[in-house]
Every structure is written in structure tokens, then in C-alpha cells.
Amino acid sequence: MTKAIIFDMDGVIIDSEPLWKKAIIQIMNNYGYNFDIEMCNRTKGMRVDEVTLFWKEELNAPFDSKIVAEEIVEEVIRLISLDGKEMDGLEDLLKRAKSENIRIALASSSSLTIIETVLTRLNISSYFEVVQSAEKEQYGKPHPAVFITAANNLGVSPNNCIVIEDSLNGVIAGKAAKMKVVAIPEPDEQQIEKFVIADQIITSLRELTF
């Protein structure tokens, strides 16, 4: 029985994945690295500090990964504040869940600063009983900690939670948390076979059933 929905944020609540990619490409280019979309996709769903540490090691780069992460976050906040748009069907889904007494939480790899920027931009803070950032966890996705913490804070068993995720790392995390996982991949990722580990694959929040 579904008692709670736990939303990922980027690519699920807000159409911010293109903004993240734009920010990462811009900042990495500032450091002299020619980044592209495919490189961004390799670390999709990870915390930004894990992303920059990954690329520091992968490229044997001299930059300070923490400073680069901070610069990316600043740019993402700027882009979201200017041009952040909610995903299709979000508000209708939130209202439907509330009307059926389904608890609602957010569990994101993004920092609390970015989460607050998004919730303010979209004016949807009142829908979420629990807001959890993976920056508060020892490990980010694909580790399940952020989802488990969100469920615990709701007081709902993981078995009674639905996770909505757009990234493969997030889907893996939700499954590891013993939750039902609904995947909503980006259009150019909908043919990735590994998404079949999700319990359901949809193309719009309007398709979600619970």
C-alpha cells in the first residue's frame, strides 16, 4: 500500500538537468577542460562534490574539487532563479497525492541551498513534509541513505514508499532502499536498458498511478 511518495528533484520536480549540464560544462571550460553532454551524463544523479572529485581523479586535474563544486552550485542557482520550470504534471500530481492523504517528501542529491531555490522558484514548499539533501549523508546516490532517511523522517516504512527518479543512480538507490521505484528518464535516455530495474517507467508525471 502506498503511503508516501518521495520525489527526486532535478529532472523530476524541475526541468533542471539541462541547467546542471550547462553549468558543469561552463565551469569546467573555465578550467580549460572541453566538457560535453556525454561527460555530464556519466555522473548524473551524483552529488556535485562527488562529480567534481570524480573528474579531478579521472582527468588527473590540479583544481580544488571543492572550489569547483561551489562554483557549479552558484551557477546552477543563478540559472534556476532565471529560468527554472516545473516538470509537466507536477502540480496536478502533488494535489492528487494530498487529496488521497499520501505523504510527500523530497530526497535530492542537490544541496539544501539549491533545493530551497527550486521550492521558492516553483512556490511548492507547502506540499513537502520532509526535505532531505544527500549532502547530509555520508554517501550520495546510488547509496540509498537519502531515501531511507526521508522515509524515517516521514515515519513511513520503505515498503510503503514510491520513489520517482530520472537518473539510473537514483533508481539504483531507490531499489536498494527497498522502495517501489518509478523512473522518468530524460527523452534521450529512455532507451537505456538498465532502467528496466525500475518497477515502472513513465514519460510524464501525469502517467503515475498509486
Answer yes or no: 8 catalytic.
yes
CB 85 within 8 A of CB 14: yes
Query: DSSP characters for 116-135?
Result: HHHHHHHT-GGG-SEEEEGG
Q: Which of 10, 15, 49, 166 is catalytic?
A: 10
Cell reading at 181? 521505484
Catalytic residue among 8, 15, 49, 166: 8
Q: In the 8-state DSSP scheme, what is residue 148? A: H
For 76-116, the DSSP string reads HHHHHHHH--BPTTHHHHHHHHHHTT-EEEEEESS-HHHHH
Q: Angle, nearest 10°, between helix axes 65-83 and 48-58?
A: 130
Show which residues are catalytic.
Answer: 8, 10
